[in-house]
Amino acid sequence: MSARNPGGQRPITRRTVLQGAAALGGFVLCLRESGGIVLASQPPLYGAAAFPGGVVENPLVFVAIHPDDTVTVTVHRPEMGQGIRTSLALVVADELEADWPRVQVTQAPADESRYGSEDTDGSRSMRHFFEPMRRVGAAARMMLESAAAAHWRVPVSEVAAERQQVVHRGTGRRLSYGQLADQAMRQSVPEPSQVRLKDPAQFRYIGKSNTRLIDGADIVAGRAAYGIDTRLDGMLYAVVARPAVLGGKLVRYDAQAALAVPGVLRVVQIPSHSLPAQYYPLGGIAVLARNTWAAIKGREALKLQWDDGPNRSYDSRQFEKVLEQAVRNPAKVIRNQGDAQTILEKSGKRIEAEYYLPSLAHASMEPPAATARISNGHCEVWAPVQAPQATRDLVTELLGMKESDVTVHVTLLGGGFGRKSMPDFAGEAALLSKAMQGAPVRVMWTREDDIQCDYYQAAALEHLEAALGPDGMPLAWLHRSAAATENATFTAGAEGEDETEYGQGMSNIPFRIPNIRLEIPSVPAYARIGWFRSVYNIAHGFAVQSFVDEVAHAAGRDPRAYQLELIGPPRRIDPRSLADTWNYGESPTLHPLDTGRLRGVIERATSEAGWGRRMPRGHGLGLAATYSFMSYAAAVIEVRVGANGELTIPRVDLAFDCGPQVNPDRVRAQLEGACIMGLTLAMHGEITFKAGRVQQSNFNDYAVMRMSEAPREIRLHLQPAGFDVPLGGVGEPGLPPIAPALCNAIFAATGRRIRRLPIGSTLSRQTS
Amino acid sequence: MRYELSVNGESVHVEAAADTPLLWVLRDELGLTGTKFGCGMGLCGACTVHVAGHPVRTCITPVNAVLGKRITTVEGIGHDRVGHAVQTAWLALGVPQCGYCQAGQIMSAAALLRHSTHPTDADIDSAMAGNICRCGTYPRIRAAIHQAAQQLRGAA
């Protein structure tokens, strides 16, 4: 779930530098800013074009038509539950005039030079590949039409594709796609400028929700194959004892008892890479066995002595003090208009609050797992990865092989949420296969491994101040956001959020406040920091939207009316004018921040939720609205807080504007999921560290919301939009408004303000 | 140790240590990978199968505890009238996102519906309390259980 500057933060391989220099406007800009290197000015590239893999639109790469009249669409974006294998395939099928029940999907292996960017994060798959995949399908359709016209010796203008057949209008003759398959694939591929797209009014599947989930039948029958399910002849099962502290190294080990466990075959040491961690395996001792249970028992029997290294004293409670110091002192100014400091100092009505979000682990239901095999100088990897090419690059480097000798097969992901953007676990499998002379090895992480050796969402402390004018509206706004940066995972010593991180709902607030000062303190990282669904928007959204609610109450105003007044009238704001030069890597002209759309979701959510209605005792409604990943989301959450502090959530109303919805049913599914993930982190999510070690280990102490706690009703309100509107993201932007809407609702119900997540037992503790 | 098990109506022989959780016997020895590992502590329900018709967490059930008992996994549940109704409702309502936990969800739902054709929301909360879904498919799971129940009542 990275929202990173394209090309800017991935470990810079030769490949990305070469491609970056040739193609990446954003990357060129980075070099110029950091290194003073002046290159010939180029217009910046946006969207998929700014990624190393770019866009490939060749129908011969993505579409195969078979003589049995079936169609295979190759999907190059990994499937982790967002439905992309269904949604990209239906886009191709629609323009192709294919019959959905006859469409099959095959997953592309890692190869960005062939398929274009496969790096699946940042809510980008449909946003970046809707138009290209339309053109792929349309070009293939035109090739079928050309083949039929040639067969009948009639002008191509007299034929038309229709539901898996090409029809000659004059005579009514028909040829099926299967009959045309061989000839069609030999037609020349139309130039992109010649490709004729459908009129959206003619769409059969796009925007319709009438396409079955491509993997649904396999999933419900237990046939769907995830990374953990790979089985190869002679495969060994491995679990790894990794350093518990980032940067720790093995000093000595005794494997005698482990090797005595029946079924255990061997132990193998994996070297620990020096920091920064990047995507490299953490190192440690692997136990290889004939089955998983023997490997687990063998690992329990290892005697290990570690040097915990430079992070041995990291304590997250103490680190909170570091964050407090950081946000209570002046720091690097990243946006400044007017003179907020002076006004705050002199103000008679000054509000101040701090909001804390702890570290979070992803806890995808499928823990990391990968399989590798090396034979005849060729390494094959099967892995559930969001970043296939980064996986291939890592394995290539670790094995010292040529890229062409490494194949990465992308399995289904049993959840990703950003964790599986980091392919360290696939690197482990490759190293272990090499150590076993190429024998197939599957590495599986236990839940404890997953919780304790994750790439974590960074803990954050947000400090906000506002000075209110006589009308109750803010005259000045100060926000300091302190959190470790993901860059620290890749660059030693990187501190504090960068523009791709504070650009997530902190710098780009569209409020009409005359004096605004935004600051970013330097904060170090002591654990691996990684992308987590919606990333820094979580902390920023929680803080900003809670604070707006607090300020509205301080002004004695209704939070909805107050927020709308703060946003002001509908207008399109150039993100650069909000100190946001990043804009999620998208064009500022194509994707301005549209306050009309932000107002729209607030108005929709509040009206659907019956904002202002009389609430029973102990009930409250809370509102929050955020803009992220080019989409607008507003949540109204109803809570009931019982006499003993027990919290239930009868209903959520979530209004969402992502522009047009290609697969509305999957958009709804993503929003339902984002809502529940947002509630989980608000109520339960907390990773703490002591002596450098994560203190949680499994679902008993790192809880995930269960069905009985989930809202009984999640009502989704999708804003309609035509296909002339650029697409926004879907996977992540539903999440940021959830925690603040929940906490604002708790305030409305009880008068108690939550400024520290997770809520946990806070409510019951304080009432008892 | 060599054991004889009854899995999805077939008698199978496996070699395993006595304390091996049934989960790893199913997955590693029998290749029935539809049953998933999620936690290893009976906390998440991803590994749920039916033993003698009751939902069991296989990650904490040793293989020698299920000898002579009928084991049904997600691969076999579709042959069962209730299991088929659950799968059908799951597809009709588009329940799965990543799908990883759904085998366990389906097994828990089928066990509920075998004993209760009119489950209340509270019954569903109780029967599904041991199954975690990180994607957040709970609202659709609830709706699909109600739909399967309705279908089973109609067909009865």
Provide DSSP, A267-303.
Answer: EEEEPPPPSS-TTS---EEEEEESSHHHHHHHHHT-E
Give the closest-approach CA distance of B80 to chain A in angstroms: 12
**Single-letter amino acid code for the residue at A89:** A
Across the interface, of A83, A226, A675, the residue whose CB is closest to B100 is A226
Subunit contact B40:A81, Cβ cutoff 8 A: no
pLDDT at A26: 30
Across the interface, of B32, B35, B132, the residue whose CB is closest to A699 is B132
* Token pair recorded at residue A369: 């797992």
**Single-letter amino acid code for the residue at A402:** K
Topology of domain A316-360+455-750 in CATH is: Aldehyde Oxidoreductase; domain 4 (3.30.365)
Instruction: Say if residues A352 and A387 touch (Cβ distance below 8 Å).
Output: no
Residue A19 vs residue A507, higher pLDDT: A507
Give the closest-approach CA distance of B87 to chain A in angstroms: 6
DSSP β-bridge partners for residue A359 = A687
Residues in chain B: 156
pLDDT at A192: 86
Following DSSP, what letter does each residue of A399-418 receive, concatenated?
A: HT--GGGEEEEE-B-S--TT
Under the banding of pLDDT at 50, 70 and 90, the label for residue A9 is very low
Give the closest-approach CA distance of B156 to chain A in angstroms: 23
Helices A537-554 and A664-683, axial angle in degrees (round to 10)? 70
User: In the sheet where A369-375 sits, what is the strand order?
Assistant: A264-270, A284-289, A236-241, A441-444, A369-375, A378-383, A406-410
pLDDT digits (tens, 9 = 90+) for A24-55: 333 322 232 333 344 456 788 999 999 999 99
Peptide bond into A276 cis (omega under 30): yes
Across the interface, of A417, A676, A699, the residue whose CB is closest to B44 is A699
Q: Is the pLDDT of residue A121 over 90?
A: yes
Give the mean pLDDT of chain A.
Answer: 94
Contacts 24+ apart (CB under 8 A), A497-501: A497/A536, A498/A5, A499/A5, A499/A334, A499/A580, A499/A581, A499/A582, A500/A3, A500/A4, A500/A5, A500/A8, A500/A9, A500/A582, A501/A3, A501/A535, A501/A536
**Span A227-309+368-444 CATH architecture:** 2-Layer Sandwich (3.30)
Nearest CA in chain A to B37: A366
Q: Is the pLDDT of residue A452 over 80?
A: yes
User: Cα angle vertex A175, ends A172, A177, to 5°?
Assistant: 140
Read off the pLDDT of each residue in A537-551 and give the average, rounded to a whole number. 98
Return the C-alpha torsion angle A487, A489, A491, A494, nearest 10: 50
Subunit contact B21:A293, Cβ cutoff 8 A: yes
Q: How far apart are CA A80 and CA A553, in angstroms?
A: 41
Under the banding of pLDDT at 50, 70 and 90, the label for residue A765 is low
- The residue written with tokens 């064009």 in the block is A587
Q: A19-221 — its CATH code?
A: 3.30.365.10
Read off the pLDDT of each residue in A310-318 and give the average, rounded to a whole number. 98
Q: Is the pLDDT of residue A3 over 50?
A: no
Residues 390-419 of A with CB under 8 A from B: 412-417
pLDDT at A44: 84
Q: Does A672 touch chain B (CB under 8 A)?
A: yes
Read off the pLDDT of each residue in A372-391 and give the average, rounded to a whole number. 98
Domains of chain A, by residue range, sit at 19-221, 227-309+368-444, 316-360+455-750
Same fold, A19-221 and A316-360+455-750: yes
Residues of B in contact with A665 (CB under 8 A): 94
DSSP code of residue A101: G
Domains defined along chain B, listed by start: 2-72 (3.10.20.30), 77-155 (1.10.150.120)
Q: Is the pLDDT of residue A429 over 60?
A: yes
Q: How far apart are CA A660 and CA A208, in angstroms?
A: 11
Subunit contact B75:A222, Cβ cutoff 8 A: yes
Instruction: Say if residues B45 and B100 touch (Cβ distance below 8 Å).
Output: no
pLDDT at B156: 58
pLDDT at A150: 98
- The residue written with tokens 């000093």 in the block is A251
Q: Give the ipTM of the model, two decimals please.
A: 0.99
Pairing of β A71-75 and β A103-107: parallel
Read off the pLDDT of each residue in A754-758 and give the average, rounded to a whole number. 98
Give the closest-approach CA distance of A520 to chain B in angstroms: 32
pLDDT at A42: 73
Q: What is the pLDDT along chain B (156 residues), one digit of tens a residue?
A: 999 999 999 999 999 999 999 999 999 999 999 999 999 999 999 999 999 999 999 999 999 999 999 999 999 999 999 999 999 999 999 999 999 999 999 999 999 999 999 999 999 999 999 999 999 999 999 999 999 999 999 975
Q: Does A504 touch chain B (CB under 8 A)?
A: no
Pairing of β A406-410 and β A441-444: unpaired
pLDDT at A41: 60
The helix or strand, by DSSP H or E, that contains position A378, with its residue range, turns out to be: strand A378-383
What is each CA distance from A745 to A162, A251, A505, A604, A647, in whole angstroms? 52, 52, 21, 18, 11
**Single-letter amino acid code for the residue at A262:** P
pLDDT at B55: 98
Residue A650 vs residue A764, higher pLDDT: A650
Q: List the single best residue of B47, B97, B121, B140 to mutate versus A (max A Cβ within 10 A).
A: B97
